[in-house]
Chains A and B, each alone.
Chain A
């Protein structure tokens, strides 16, 4: 059973466009939702994270939107650049004793064309 569903699998946008990556979860015990960015041959790096008590969080050109009632969250990249071309993973974890176990989506490969 896939606990975090991510879409699309791949995405191609023009430079300056706003790619949107969506994730949905089933487990209402999840209370921490990070996004990771991974470049080829590298490990994932934490990009931005949100908790369900807020509906939106911005860090630079990256924004997470969170819809608790729909159990969905999404990543928006404003003014996308070729350097943003990477694979993006959403993830979720529970609070308390389960908080060290991240459950990842399957990833979205983003290509930003100059």
Chain B
């Protein structure tokens, strides 16, 4: 039982590059979310999904794209990386709208 798996754990990108952060859960959870964590800022919601085919924007969606084609996977795409997107990214899932389980994070640096 792996829980929420995020890959890669670390990534360095050049400004303007694109990439996809992967998130997979094996708990058959309906709800999935992406957060970014910056020093002194807490966690801020980027995008979320309430089921396959259904996504919506959170507090800080600009520069990010998501899709949810299966229950298990919820990838986060950076369209054109900027230094302001340097952060630690967490994916989370829940069987209901409360009690989220978080992954171990992806530390992204944009140079």
Residue ranges of A at the interface with B (Cβ–Cβ < 8 Å): 6, 9, 32, 34, 36, 41-46, 49, 89, 93, 99-107
Contacts and interface: CB of A to CB of B under 8 A. Distances in A.
B98 A93 contact: yes
A89 B100 CA distance: 13
Q: Which label, helix, strand, loop or mixed, suits the secondary structure of the B interface?
A: strand
A38 B13 CA distance: 26
A102 B100 contact: yes
Contacts of A46: 99-101
A34 B98 contact: yes
B77 interface: no
B104 A43 contact: yes
A41 B106 CA distance: 10
B48 A100 contact: yes
Contacts of B90: 43-44
Nearest to A99: B97
Interface residues of B, number: 26
Nearest to A6: B42
12 contacts: A42-B104, A43-B90, A45-B102, A49-B98, A89-B42, A89-B43, A93-B97, A100-B33, A100-B94, A102-B33, A102-B45, A106-B40
> Which one of B4, B40, B97, B105 has the greatest number of beta carbons of chain A within 10 Å?
B97
Contacts of A32: 98
A100 B50 contact: yes
A104 B44 contact: yes
A104 B41 CA distance: 9
Nearest to A46: B99
B75 to A, nearest CB: 17
Nearest to A96: B97
A42 B92 CA distance: 13
